[in-house]
Structure 1
Amino acid sequence: MYRAWNFLTNYSLLLLIGAAIALVWANLDNQSYRGFADLVIADGVFIGEPVLSDTGEIVTRSLTLHYLVNNVLMAFFFALAGKEVWEALILQNGALRGRKAATPLIATLGGMAGPALVYLGLAAVLGSETHDAVSRGWAIPTATDIAFAYLFGRLIFGAGHPAVRFLLLIAIADDAIGLIIIAVFYPAGALELGWLGLSAAAAIGVFVLCNWLPRRLDRGRETRPNSTWVRHHLSFWPYLVAGCLSWFGFQEAGLHPALGLLPIVPTLPHADRAFGIFSEAEQYLTDLLNHVQTLLRYPVEIILFLFGLLNAGVEFSSIGAPTWLVLAGLLIGKPVGILTFGWFAARPLKLGLPKGMGLGDLAVIGCVAAVGFTVSIFIASVAFAPGAMLGAIPVEDAAKMGALFGLASFMLAMGVARLVGVARRDR
């Protein structure tokens, strides 16, 4: 259990503290909070919020504190998420490889479709004005916060229940699809996809020069002198340079730059096996990919604190229709989608469930996975145009409040677990 608590402490506790401070600050003195979040660090720079001419062309950029955290520093958080997805997909014993991952993957699709359909369906019922104002936020309730979901799952099922691993598979797959959704549906500006050539060139170049070529030269040599020299003398620095180029390519291409480090993640030398995000063995791996993860641990803690501080400052007066739509998508759409698609995979498709796990456990997993939090707040921050309103309510703020309320999924999961008679297994 300590690994789950340790992961929560590393990647979510400071986020919670930042979000709590932001909520209090915004409701006590919203003007000073907004002034802090929108603080201009530098004008006339090459990164930041675009400043447009009368013809709509970008003439310069203004770097704000909000942009620095959401678009630059959060790239390191998404790189860590991408690292887990990458290992799960391509390494021996990866969590998302083989038949064992089929039912969780299909259940994940339900966990994405269900919330989106509930969100958009209820928005349509509320009328065209509401639907038009909130429709771009359909992806907000599709997210699953992997740290909170895993912790909630361990508290409900115990360490030895097969449902915990099943839940982790869903959370990892959810992260993978979520990254694709952000890239495809929430570009940061007008698309100039030619700039992605810079990102591709950076990734290919650093892979060939610092990964493939040294290994090629070391064929048949047990001491691996070239690979060892590159690792000891160059370490992660070439990959950091490539990451900066890739990030800039994403910004100029109009894609969300917070995803700009993802093309570099697969280029880092990695271990031959994946032990899992919460496995004890992970901390003993010495490959460069896991070494970089270790180096990023404390910086990402601070980044998530700043992310919560700069994005969760919502006045309680902003609670409105978008709040309840996001919450309904999370607490209704997510459980129903996961249960329905998971049942379809396990029964009609005969893919089955893990031994010792039943449909009741699947229903509880759906409730636990409804905690969106980090990624839900992030999507809410990019989904709506600045200043978008629904009546007198800021749409973005109202949607973020729904994501914060999504922590109530734990109480829902506890209730459903009691109802279906989940047997806790600690071994």
Structure 2
Amino acid sequence: MIKKSINLLREFSLPLILGVVLAVVWANVDSHGYHEALHWSPFGAHSELTLHFFFNDIFMVFFFGIAAKEITESCLPGGALNPPRKAVNPLLATVGGVLGPIAVYFAWTAISGDHAIARGWGVPTATDIALAWLVARLVFGKGHPAVAFLLLLAVADDGIGLGIIAIFYPDPSHPVEPAWLLAVAGAMAMAWGMRKRGITSWIPYVTVAGGVSWYALYSAHLHPALALVAIVPFMPHAAKDEGLFEEDAGHAHNDTLSRFEHAFKLPVDLGLFGFGLMNAGVELGAVGDATWGVMFALIIGKTLGVTGFALVGDKLGFKLPEGMKPKTVVATGMVAALGLTVALFVAGVAFTDPTLQAAAKMGALGSVAAVPLVVGYAVLFRVGRFAKTTAQVKKAVTGAFQRPVQAVEAAARPITGAFPRPGREG
């Protein structure tokens, strides 16, 4: 029963959601205490190994690693992105998903007349992988090609977002040192060599090659959380993709890639509580022009950009993955509008004015408004899991809300059963 309850928590990403909610409440009730907690370190006040650093730069390594695993398997024979030509369309959608928000943000800057916010154009360019993955799985289902499409898009535009940070928002005290990227290439060669030598344990891939990749990205002053993205594709894997998760197809693969996922999936799913707690603490009174600029750029710009570029690419011969229709692409663009992780980070480096910075972060947080929009769209146009009759949709939605309640009731049954019911004494 405990296992069933944990699986329900993971399926609905409740740890992440609870972390985000608690962060917002904490930041508004005790802002000073919240920010002190972010920078707390067991190694002293001046250590860089803070809670914020741990969750953003160490813990998220494994989240991005699992995301890279899903993309890798999607590129295998039978996968949603195989042959490689299929990856062209989501990459085109990525470009649209970056240019669309930038265009909308500058349009809002012109309309509002507040040119002080213009520097924040980079804030809405990236998709939050954690939230987008959650919503995509709820809307489309785990095995739907739109999930793999969105994962590739999200990882790619997060990479673009990090590039924007490095090029357009450099830190004079920590300039980018691209020479360290040669060490990342060395780590990839190391992982390739391990595979050639027949090493099937995931441990050396993660600790040795992954460790070198992490240190190189950290030393290059780039985001070290992407360390395993370069290493995971070299792990020994199955000959073909059996579905976005192998358990969906009823198979229990024992390859290195699958064992890596099984080792870290539960800790990552539960640990997203800490990630949400460390990143979503925004004061609600900080609404300003930058808030609406970021929110409109994400919700409108992402949707239009992803949809437009993906459909144009399809017309040019770079076909959408099988099973994706134009209405599915629109829903995917709406899910891609969820911005949090990189958006919060860019807001922190784009604005030195605390008021503008907080307003931009509020816009990133406000992008969660895309969730009810995409669910409503999916129900209305019967997309993904909602591509059923009205009765089936009603049953599925009712079941989705009842299952967490049933899990709580079942978990409490052994406790309540220990007490006699009224009228049953003696």
Q: TM-score, normalised by structure 2?
A: 0.76
Identical counterparts, % of pairs: 32
Mark the CA change 1:166 to 1:329 in structure 2 (over 3 Å): closer, same or farther: farther
Instruction: Spell out, residue by residue over 1:23-52, the C-alpha distance to the aligned partner (whole angstroms, 9 max, x if none).
Output: 1111111111111111133369xxxxxx9x
Given candidates 191, 195, 205, the residue that maps to 1:211 is 195
Instruction: Spell out, residue by residue over 1:135-167, the C-alpha distance to the aligned partner (whole angstroms, 9 max, x if none).
Output: 33141468771221231235xxxx9xxxx8353
Is the 8 Å Cα contact of residues 38 and 278 (structure 2) preserved in structure 1? Answer: yes
Root-mean-square deviation (Å): 3.4
1:378 Cα deviation from its structure 2 partner: 1.4
Is the 8 Å Cα contact of residues 363 and 416 (structure 1) preserved in structure 2? Answer: no
Given candidates 184, 188, 195, the residue that maps to 2:180 is 195
**SS in structure 2 at match of 1:42:** coil
Establish whether residue 38 from structure 1 lines up as the match of residue 39 from structure 2.
Answer: yes
Which residue of structure 2 lines up, in the alignment, with residue 92 of structure 1? Answer: 77
Is the 8 Å Cα contact of residues 290 and 356 (structure 2) preserved in structure 1? Answer: no
Aligned counterparts, 1:63-212, within 5 A: 63-89=49-75, 91-98=76-83, 103-127=89-113, 129-140=115-126, 145-154=132-141, 165-187=144-166, 189-208=174-193, 210-212=194-196
Which residue of structure 2 lines up, in the alignment, with residue 217 of structure 1? Answer: none
Structure 2: 5+ residue runs without aligned partners?
393-426
Establish whether residue 399 from structure 1 lines up as the match of residue 360 from structure 2.
Answer: yes
Further displaced range: 236-245 or 249-258: 236-245
**Aligned partners of 1:381, 1:68: CA distance in 2, in Å?**
17
**Aligned partners of 1:73, 1:393: CA distance in 2, in Å?**
29
Instruction: Spell out, residue by residue over 1:326-373, the C-alpha distance to the aligned partner (whole angstroms, 9 max, x if none).
Output: 2212221122223323443445x3666688875445434433443x2x
Which residue of structure 2 lines up, in the alignment, with residue 363 of structure 1? Answer: 330
1:324 Cα deviation from its structure 2 partner: 1.5
Establish whether residue 245 from structure 1 lines up as the match of residue 208 from structure 2.
Answer: no
1:94 Cα deviation from its structure 2 partner: 2.6
**Aligned partners of 1:263, 1:19: CA distance in 2, in Å?**
29
Is the 8 Å Cα contact of residues 20 and 273 (structure 2) preserved in structure 1? Answer: yes
The structure carrying a bigger strand percent of its residues is 1
Kindly tell me the number of residue pairs found equivalent between the two proteins.
375
Further displaced range: 328-337 or 197-206: 197-206
Given candidates 280, 287, 294, the residue that maps to 2:255 is 287
Which residue of structure 1 lines up, in the alignment, with residue 422 of structure 2? Answer: none
1:399 Cα deviation from its structure 2 partner: 3.1
**Aligned partners of 1:333, 1:255: CA distance in 2, in Å?**
26
Structure 1: 5+ residue runs without aligned partners?
45-50, 52-60, 215-229
**Aligned partners of 2:128, 2:256: CA distance in 1, in Å?**
32
Given candidates 383, 388, 393, the residue that maps to 1:425 is 388
Mark the CA change 1:136 to 1:110 in structure 2 (over 3 Å): closer, same or farther: closer
Mark the CA change 1:282 to 1:401 in structure 2 (over 3 Å): closer, same or farther: farther
Mark the CA change 1:111 to 1:169 in structure 2 (over 3 Å): closer, same or farther: farther
- What amino acid maps onto 1:92 in structure 2? P
Is the 8 Å Cα contact of residues 120 and 350 (structure 2) preserved in structure 1? Answer: no
Instruction: Spell out, residue by residue over 1:225-266, the C-alpha distance to the aligned partner (whole angstroms, 9 max, x if none).
Output: xxxxx44xx552453122112211111112111112222212
